[in-house]
Amino acid sequence: MKHYTLLRFVKLNLYFFSAYCLLTGLWYGVTNRFETEAATVVKEIMLNAAIFGLLFSLLMLSWYRRTRLLLATTKISYAELQQRLSAIGFEKVPQAQKSKMEVYKPTPPKAAAMAGKLFVSKSPSFYIVEGPARLLKKL
């Protein structure tokens, strides 16, 4: 997929930002930090959440960096490829329309949910597998 890493970065960043804001806001509410200067506390939460979200998103993207793997169709059959993908922890996502690219999602505990999706397409002589480099090494 063309811009999957960028899209994944934005989603992770928003997720970590909102989770940090929510949990820190709850903790500050329990400890009564909003009673003195609420505006300053909210600014502090937002700044810390932005930094945390950015750093943690970058960490996840570098931990599960993505790569492209070419597998010769003469060396591996389609059924064997699907078997190997399920062995490393990915299951096929059912699609409503017929597409050239198949999408696989991680299934914990074999593949972490933060690993992201795996994309498989077929050219005349290769299966093109795009996904997290650490997990594709096992393929």
pLDDT tens digits along 16-29: 999 999 999 999 99
Domain count, the chain: 2
Closest C-alpha to 106, from 123, 75, 131: 131
Cα angle 9, 11, 15; round to 5 = 115
**pLDDT higher than threshold 80 for residue 2:** no
Asked whether residue 50 falls in the same domain as residue 78, the answer is: no
Per-residue confidence (pLDDT) for residue 43, from 0 to 100 = 94
Per-residue confidence (pLDDT) for residue 1, from 0 to 100 = 64
Tell me the two tokens of residue 84: 């190997």
Asked whether residue 50 falls in the same domain as residue 79, the answer is: no
Domain of residue 121 covers 66-136
pTM above 0.85, yes or no: no
Contact in structure between 66 and 4 (CB atoms under 8 Å) = yes
Collapsing DSSP to helix, strand or coil, 29 comes out as helix
Asked whether residue 19 falls in the same domain as residue 81, the answer is: no
Asked whether residue 49 falls in the same domain as residue 72, the answer is: no
- Structural domain ending residue among the three candidates 45, 63, 81: 63
- CA distance linking residue 123 with residue 129, whole number of Å: 11
- Structural domain ending residue among the three candidates 13, 31, 63: 63
Tens digits of residue pLDDT in 65-109: 889 999 999 999 999 999 999 999 999 999 888 888 899 999 988
Per-residue confidence (pLDDT) for residue 113, from 0 to 100 = 83
Asked whether residue 8 falls in the same domain as residue 42, the answer is: yes
Asked whether residue 56 falls in the same domain as residue 91, the answer is: no
Strands (E), the chain: 66-72, 90-92, 101-106, 118-122, 126-132
Question: With pLDDT > 90 as the criterion, what percentage of the chain qualifies?
Answer: 56
Asked whether residue 18 falls in the same domain as residue 33, the answer is: yes
